[in-house]
Amino acid sequence: MDIIILILIVFFAGAVLTAFSEKISTLVQDILFLGTLIVPAILFFTGVEMNTDTIISFNKVPLNLGMTPLSYYFALIVMGLAVLTGVYTVGQMKGKKRKGYFYLNYILSIGAMFGILMSKDLVSFFIFWEIMTWASYLIVIYNGKNVQKIGIKYFVMSAIGAYAMLMAIVLTHSLTGSFLISDLISGFGSWDHGMQILIPVLLLVGFGVKAAIMPLHIWAPDAYSNSPMSYTAIFSGALSKMGVYGMVIVFLALLTKVPEGALIRDIVAWMAAITAAISTLYAIKQDDAKRLLAFSSIGQLGYIVIGVAIGTPMAMLAGLFLAFMHGVFKSTLFMVVGAVEKQTGTTDFTEITGLIRKMPWTFLAALISIIALAGIPPLGGFVGKWMLYESLIQSDHFMLVTLVFFSSTAAFLYCYKILFGFFLGQEEKEWSHVKEAPALMVVPMIILSIISVVLGTFPQLIMKPINAAMTFYGMPDTYGVLWKESMLFNKWGSDIALTPIMYGIMAIFIVVAIFLFFRNRSRTRYVTTKDISTSGEIPKEHENLTFTRGFFQPFLRAVEPVMRKQIDKYMLSFAQGIEDLFEFTRRIYNGNGQSYAIYAMIFLIILLVLGKNLFG
C-alpha cells in the first residue's frame, strides 16, 4: 500500500479510535491521541517520496494523491507542529471535559491538512478542505461560548470561501475537462482572457478567507481566541498556512501567465499590508492575551501574503520563510498563553502580573518567540523580515515597504505588552500560589524556541526546501544568488552574514552577562517589587502599584483617527440588511391562505391589465 494512503488511514482511523477510547481510560486515550499524531509524522519523514502518483477510487471518483516539493515544505510545518502541539495538548487538556470530541476534531483537521497538501486534483483538495473547515469549526464552538456570534461568523466566511473555490473548480473542469491541478496549470495559458482573471480571483477569495486577509478576516479574532489555546497554535500556525499554500500556487503557477497578474499582485499585496497595519493597531489595543495574539496573527499573515503576492524570487523566499517562522513562534506564543491560562485561570493582562519568577521556562519561551516575532536579529524572524524589506525595495514598492515597516515597528508595542503584562511588573500576592506549567506543556515550547534560534543563524536548513519548491514551479534557482549557507544577498550584491553576527552578539552578551549578572547576582540581595524608589514613601503590602490599565493610551490617542473605521461594522450592517430582506420576504409568505388568495388575485389582475402588452 502506498504510504500517503497509509498515513491518511492512520489519521482517520486514529481519530475515531481516540474519540471512542474515552470510555476505556483517559491514559489510553492520550496515548492513542499522541500515537495518531506521531506515527504519521514518522512515516512522513521516513517514507514519503517526491513526485509519485497514487490514485484511490471512491465509487468511480478518482482521487489523485502525491507530493510536490511545495507541499513537502508545508507538510513539514503541519507535521512538525502537529507532534509538538499534540504533546502540549495532552498536558493542557488534562482534566477537561469532552476530550473525545476535541481530540477527534483535532486529528481530523490535521489529517485533512495533510490531505490538502497531498492532493493532486481539485476534487480531493476540496473534500479535504471542507473536512478541515468542519473540524476547525467544531473546535471553535467547543467552549460553548457565544456560539451564535462566533461560530456563525466563521462558518459564513468559510462558506463564502468554499463556494468561490467550488465555482473556480467547476469552471476549470468545464474548460479543461480534468480536475488535475497540473492540467489547470498547463492549460491556463491558452484560455480566454476573462477566465484567466476570474479563476485566480475566485481561488484567491477561497484561500484569502483562511489566510485572514482583509476584508475576509472578520472571523479570525473571535475564532482564534475562542478555541482552546492548544488548538489555536495549530489554527494560526498551520491551518492558516493552507490559505498561503493555495495562494503560492495561484501566484507562482497561474498569475505569472497573464498580463493583468501584476495588478492583481499589487492589489492583494496592498490589502495584505493594510491588514497588517490595522490589525497591529488593534492588537496593541487588546487587554486580553488571546485576542491580542489573534490580531497579531492576522498581521503576521499579512506579511506572508505580501511576500507571496509580490512574487519576485526574493519576496517569495521571504513569504515562505516567514510562513515557517510564523508557524514556529506564533504557536509557541499561543502555547505560552495556554500555559498561563491553565496555571492562573485568566488571560487578562490587567489581572495577571509578575509571573516571571513563578514560570521561568514559560517566560523564556515567550521571550525568545517575541524576539523572533519582532524580527530582531539574531533570531529567525529577522531573516524573513530582511528578505521581505529588500524584496519590496527592489521591486519598487516604496510606499508598501514604509507601511510594512510601520506595522512591524508598531508590533514592538504589543510584544512588550505580552511580556510585561504576564511576566513582569509588580508581583502581587494574589498570584503567589502560581507554579510552572507541567513538563508536557513546557517541553514543546522550549523545543520550538530552540528552532527559532537555530533558524536565525542557519536559515539554509529551510531555505533548501523552499528553493526546491520554487524551482519546481519554474522560478530561478536562488542558491548562491539570494542566499548561500548563512549569507543573504540582495539584488544589488549587498549582503548580510548571519554567522559572524550571531557569534558577535553571543560573545559580547556572554562577557557582559558574566560581568553584570553572575557577579552581581551572588553579591547582591534580592528585594521584592514593593521595595522600589518612590520618593521616600514605602508602599504597603496591599497597595497595588501595577501599571497595566490603559497601557498604550497615549499612542492609541495618536492613531485614533485610523481605528475609527471597522470593516466588521460594514459587514454587520450588510448582514442586517440581508436579514431585513428576509424579514420582508417572510411577511409575504406568512402562511395565511387568505393572503395567498389575494396574491393570486393581484397576479391575475396584472395579467389582465398587462397581458396584451406582454403576450400580444
Partner 1 sequence: MEGILLHILGAIATFLLAFFVGMTYGGIRRKVIARVQNRYGPPIYQNFIDAFKLFSKTTAVHHGAMHLLGPAFLIVSAVMALMVVPVLRDNLWFTNLNFHGDLIFLIYIMVFGPLGMALGAGQTGNPNSAIGVTRGLSQMVGFEIPWVMALVAIMIKYNTTSIVDLMNIQNEVGQWLIFQNPFAFIAAILASLGMFRYAPFNIVGAPTELASGPASENGGKFLFTMMSAGSVFAFVKLTLFVDIFLGGASNLIVLVIKTFLLYMIPVLYGVVNPRYRTEQAVTYFWGWPLLFGFLAIIYSVYF
- Looking at residues 86 to 115 of the shown chain, list those that interact with partner 1 (rule: CB under 8 A): none
**Judging by DSSP bridges, how do beta strands 483-484 and 61-65 pair with one another?**
unpaired
Nearest-angstrom CA–CA distance, 407 and 401: 10
Contact between 482 and 489 under an 8 Å Cβ cutoff? The reply is: yes
Q: Among 413, 447, 461, 571, indicate the residue that binds partner 1 (CB under 8 A).
A: 413
Measured from the CB atom, the residue of 39 and 424 that comes closer to partner 1 is 424
Task: Confirm or reject binding of residue 424 to partner 1 (CB under 8 A).
Answer: yes
Q: Hunting for cell 501599571 — which residue is that?
A: 547
CB of 369 to partner 1, least distance (A): 14
CB of 444 to partner 1, least distance (A): 23
Q: Which of residues 301-360 bind partner 1 (CB under 8 A)?
A: 354, 356-357, 360
DSSP state string for 373-384: HHT-TTSHHHHH
Nearest-angstrom CA–CA distance, 19 and 103: 6
Task: Confirm or reject binding of residue 270 to partner 1 (CB under 8 A).
Answer: no
Task: Confirm or reject binding of residue 434 to partner 1 (CB under 8 A).
Answer: no
Task: Identify which range of 12-20, 78-86, 177-185, 367-375 contacts partner 1 by CB under 8 A.
Answer: 367-375
AA letter at 351: E
Task: Identify which range of 43-51, 106-114, 323-331, 371-379 contacts partner 1 by CB under 8 A.
Answer: 371-379
Task: Identify which range of 65-73, 124-132, 245-253, 372-380 contacts partner 1 by CB under 8 A.
Answer: 372-380
Name the helix (H) or strand (E) containing 591: none
Task: Identify which range of 35-43, 524-532, 573-581, 601-609 contacts partner 1 by CB under 8 A.
Answer: 524-532
Task: Identify which range of 36-44, 143-151, 430-438, 528-536 contacts partner 1 by CB under 8 A.
Answer: 528-536
Q: Among 139, 181, 218, 374, indicate the residue that binds partner 1 (CB under 8 A).
A: 374
What are residue 483's DSSP bridge partners?
479, 488
Nearest-angstrom CA–CA distance, 214 and 330: 20
Q: Which of residues 553-582 bind partner 1 (CB under 8 A)?
A: 554-555, 557-558
Among 115, 119, 9, 12, residue whose Cα is nearest residue 64? 119
CB of 276 to partner 1, least distance (A): 14
CB of 491 to partner 1, least distance (A): 8
Contact between 325 and 381 under an 8 Å Cβ cutoff? The reply is: yes
Q: Which of residues 488-507 bind partner 1 (CB under 8 A)?
A: 490, 492-497, 500-501, 504-505
Nearest-angstrom CA–CA distance, 109 and 121: 19
Contact between 368 and 453 under an 8 Å Cβ cutoff? The reply is: yes
Measured from the CB atom, the residue of 58 and 398 that comes closer to partner 1 is 398
**Judging by DSSP bridges, how do beta strands 487-489 and 495-497 pair with one another?**
antiparallel
Per-residue contact track with partner 1, 504 to 523, x per CB under 8 A? xx--xx--xx-xxx--xx-x
Measured from the CB atom, the residue of 557 and 587 that comes closer to partner 1 is 557
C-alpha atoms less than 13 angstroms from C-alpha of 323 in its C-beta half-sphere: 34
Peptide bond before 476: cis, by omega within 30 degrees of 0? no
CB of 538 to partner 1, least distance (A): 13
Contact between 161 and 210 under an 8 Å Cβ cutoff? The reply is: yes
CB of 424 to partner 1, least distance (A): 3
Nearest-angstrom CA–CA distance, 174 and 330: 41
CB of 498 to partner 1, least distance (A): 9
Q: Among 270, 416, 472, 479, indicate the residue that binds partner 1 (CB under 8 A).
A: 416
Measured from the CB atom, the residue of 185 and 556 that comes closer to partner 1 is 556
Task: Confirm or reject binding of residue 377 to partner 1 (CB under 8 A).
Answer: yes
Among 440, 424, 413, 414, residue whose Cα is nearest residue 360? 424
Measured from the CB atom, the residue of 30 and 390 that comes closer to partner 1 is 390
**Judging by DSSP bridges, how do beta strands 495-497 and 483-484 pair with one another?**
unpaired
Contact between 233 and 335 under an 8 Å Cβ cutoff? The reply is: yes
Measured from the CB atom, the residue of 259 and 493 that comes closer to partner 1 is 493
CB of 389 to partner 1, least distance (A): 5
Among 463, 328, 310, 307, residue whose Cα is nearest residue 388? 307
Measured from the CB atom, the residue of 516 and 598 that comes closer to partner 1 is 516
Count residues near partner 1 (CB under 8 A): 77
CB neighbourhood size of 110 (10 A): 28
Per-residue contact track with partner 1, 393 to 412, x per CB under 8 A? x--x-xx-xx--xx--xx-x
Task: Confirm or reject binding of residue 376 to partner 1 (CB under 8 A).
Answer: yes
